[in-house]
Structure 1
Amino acid sequence: MKTDVVVIGGGLTGTACAWFLAREGAEVTLLEASDLNTQASGTNAGSIHLQIPHPEFVNLGADWARAYAPSLRLLRASLDMWQALPDELGEDLDVKLAGGLVVATTDAQMRQIEQKSLIERSVGVETDILGRDDLRRIAPYLAPNAIGAGYCAQEGKANPLRATPALARAARAAGAVIRTHSPVTGLQARDGGYTVMTPDGPIHARRVVNAAGARAADIAAMLGLSVDLQGFALQVTVTQAMTPFIPHLVYSAAGKLSVKQAGNGTCLIGGGWAARSRADGSLCVNPANLSGNLATAARVIPALAGVQTVRTWTAVVNGTSDWRPIIGEAPGHRGFFLALFPWMGFTAGPMTARLVADMVLGRPPRLSLEGISALSDG
């Protein structure tokens, strides 16, 4: 079989890239090892982020934050795309951008939030510093010991169970071929293009997009290309439905936490707490981290104390130590493109896909990747 472009990975970035390419006339085949949307794109909590992550700012420092900050330009552009996608796809994706709050309970935490906001402002992202009274006015559900917060009005949430399937339908309607249960078993550069091996036989393509998420490093290694990216097992919990009372995406300046309330009233609680890996490589919930995550959430939002949890699940997220995106044509591998935004892939997926599609089609990316992608460092 021959095609123009093979996209590897049936998550949000892969299906979006296939759609963008197919609707501009490219012949596209997307390969997914299992079912669409079964990995991080469908198992994440649906947060739409824009701020520099606070725990990493505290743990890695201001120099790290300054190196990472240019990536916020890509996230902001992706947020614009998220707002347009429901109309373009004809699908309600539950996109709600009511703002994100990093909640502080000490003066030291407030100083950290203020320092972080200056770095965010340097790349055009506005984070307002709220005192106790202003915070209480917009978020009366927070604990009484909250003394202030950093508020980024553009953050919010979307529905991870709807986004990728809608993009896949659009890609198919535009002419893309999507093959599920079609893992890539080999990849070779050949005859000015690539031969992609699958259980159903080889596919010859002029160009390949690697959007395989946590498996992307394994795919790249088939070409002898080293990509510093790993999969990290995390867990997310959903509660019983409650009367809507949390409009914001809520973080804690005291540690790892993200809380949001879905349209059906359930609350999604996460923030990067690790799941447990069994000896056979399968994943299960880490009970100690579940307890810690729920306790942290209840300290920030007292109404969550004692609420019944319905389910906790695991997800493998691709990540790097420096958090820098890896987006663009791989050096020394003409026609092989990487579409990887670690840790924030759900938020960044639409714009990551759009930029890679630009490059695959021979155009400069509509947003400069200088200072953003690790591949731009030369």
Structure 2
Amino acid sequence: MTADVIVIGGGLAGCATAYYLAADGVDVTLLERFDLNTLASGSNAGSLHAQIPHDPFVRLGETWAASYASTVGLLAKSIEIWRGLGDELGADLEVKLRGGLLVARTPYDMRAIERKARYEREQGLEIQLFDRADIAREAPYVSEEMIGGAFCPDEGKANPFAAAPAFARVARQRGVRIERQTAVLGIERTNQGYDVATSKGKFSARRVVNAAGSDAGRIAEMLGIDLADVQGFPIQVSATEKVGPLIPHLLYCASDKLTLKQNQVGSLLIGGGWEANIGPHGTPVANPESLSKNMGVALSVVPALRDIKVLRTWAAIVNGTEDWKPILGEIRKSPGFFVNFFPWMGFTAGPIAARIVANLVQGKPAPFDIDLTPFLPKT
């Protein structure tokens, strides 16, 4: 089977890339080895992040922050796309942008937050620094032990179970062929482009987009391309029983790993990047010690959680790189082979990363006058 473009990966990155290409009239085939949205794209907690993540800011320092800061601009632009995405796709994606609140437990935390805010504001992100009185007024559910924080009004959440399937549905309506249960076994460069050998036979295209998430490194290796930075990390998230309105924000804690928010049906989603285990069959499984620590942090920040039951905890592999920066664009030594890889914040960045790569595949400039220099593949 032949197409103009083959997209490898049926998560948010792949489905959105296929959608944008098809919207521009490109003939696309999407290959997914399992089913759509079954890995990281459908297993994350649905946070829409814009702030520089606090943990690597503290661990890696301000030199890293200066290098990473341009990524903030991509995240902010992606959130702007999220605002109208439900209407564009004709689906309720449950997008709620009530703001992200990073709280500080100690003066040390607060000083780090203030330093980080300078880099964020330089990228045009609105950041409001809160003192204890601001916390009490704007987030009365937060423990009195939290002395201040930073509030970003552009952050929030969406439904990870809805987003990729909505992109896929409209992409299919626009002519994209979606091949599920189709494992990529090998890729060969030809005079006409690329032949992709799969468990369902050979597919050919002039161009290929590698949107395979944590599997992107393995896919690239089929062409001798080293994406050494690409890694997969097992992490876990927990969901509580349904409760009345409690937490309107996307909540973080500067001194401990925590993300906390409430979804549309009333469940609280509690995470923060806590490590999961790899089970005997090679799949991620929950780590009881991480669960205990994660719940302890959450309870210390939101005391009302003491009376709320956790119903389930699940684990998934999240895409990551050491420098936290995306890889977006064409591999120089393999013309026509493109990478769409956005580590850690891939759910937030899914729409903008897909729009960028779809443009590049067609030889168009990046949208929104984005400078792609920091994000282009190094190989």
Aligned to 2:372: 370
Does the CA-based 8 Å contact 1:335-1:360 persist in structure 2?
yes
> Normalised by the size of structure 1, how large is the TM-score?
0.98
Aligned match of 1:98: 98
- The secondary structure found in structure 1 opposite 2:289 is helix
- For 1:123 and 1:342, the matched residues in 2 are separated by 19
**Contact 1:295/1:305 (8 A) holds in 2:** no
1:180 is aligned to 180
Equivalent position of 1:160 in the other structure: 160
Work out whether residues 234 and 275 of structure 1, in 8 Å CA contact, stay in contact via their aligned partners in 2. yes
Distance, in Å, in 2 between the alignment partners of 1:21 and 1:351 is 13
Residue 257 of structure 1 contacts residue 297 of structure 1 at CA under 8 Å; is this kept in 2? yes
Secondary structure at the counterpart of residue 334 of structure 1: coil
Partner residue of 1:2? Answer: 2
Match of 2:314 in 1: 313
Contact 2:263 2:269 (8 Å CA) reproduced: yes
Rounded Cα–Cα distance in structure 2 between residues aligned with 1:362 and 1:326: 17
Tell me the alpha carbon deviations over residues 317-351 of structure 1, each in whole angstroms, 9 at most, x when there is no partner. 11000011100001211000000110000000000
1:1-378 equivalences in 2 (<5 Å):
1-227=1-227, 228-366=229-367, 367-375=369-377
Q: Which amino acid aligns with 1:362?
A: G
Distance 1:130 1:355, change over 3 A: same
- Residues 178-206 of structure 1, C-alpha deviations (whole Å, 9 max, x = no match): 01100111111111300001111111100
Q: Distance in 1 between matches of 2:39 and 2:13?
A: 12
Amino acid at match of 1:316: I
Deviation of 1:372 (Å): 3.4
* Distance in 2, Cα, partners of 1:325 & 1:80: 19
Measured against aligned partners, the alpha-carbon deviations of 1:62-101 in whole angstroms (never above 9, x if no partner) come to 1111100001111111001101101101111000011001
User: 1: CA distance between counterparts of 2:279 and 2:312?
Assistant: 19
* Moved beyond 2 Å, runs of 4+: 367-372
- Structure 1 letter corresponding to 2:214: A
Q: CA RMSD in A?
A: 1.1
Q: Note the C-alpha offset of 1:277.
A: 1.1
Deviation at 1:364, TM superposition (A): 1.1
- After superposing the two structures, state which structure 1 stretch, 126-135 or 256-265, moved more: 126-135
- Could you state the TM-score of these two structures normalised by the residue count of structure 2? 0.98
Is the Cα–Cα contact under 8 Å of residues 130 and 150 in structure 2 kept in the other structure?
yes
Percent identity between the aligned chains?
Answer: 50
Displacement of 1:305 = 2.0
Secondary structure at the aligned position of 1:41 is classed as helix
Question: Where in structure 1 are there 5+ consecutive unaligned residues?
Answer: none
Q: 1 CA distance for matches of 2:372 and 2:210? A: 20
Structure-2 separation of matches of 1:191 and 1:139:
60
Q: Is the Cα contact below 8 Å between 1:70 and 1:371 reproduced in 2?
A: no
What is the number of equivalent residue pairs in this alignment? 377
After TM superposition, the structure 1 stretch with the greater mean CA deviation from structure 2, 120-129 or 311-320, is 120-129
Match of 1:143, SS? coil
* 1:61 partner SS: helix
For the 8 Å contact 1:47–1:249, the answer to whether it is kept is: yes
Change (3 A) 1:371 1:334: closer
Q: Is the CA contact 1:46–1:158 (under 8 Å) kept in the aligned structure 2?
A: yes
Q: Does structure 2 retain, via aligned residues, the 8 Å contact 1:23–1:175?
A: no
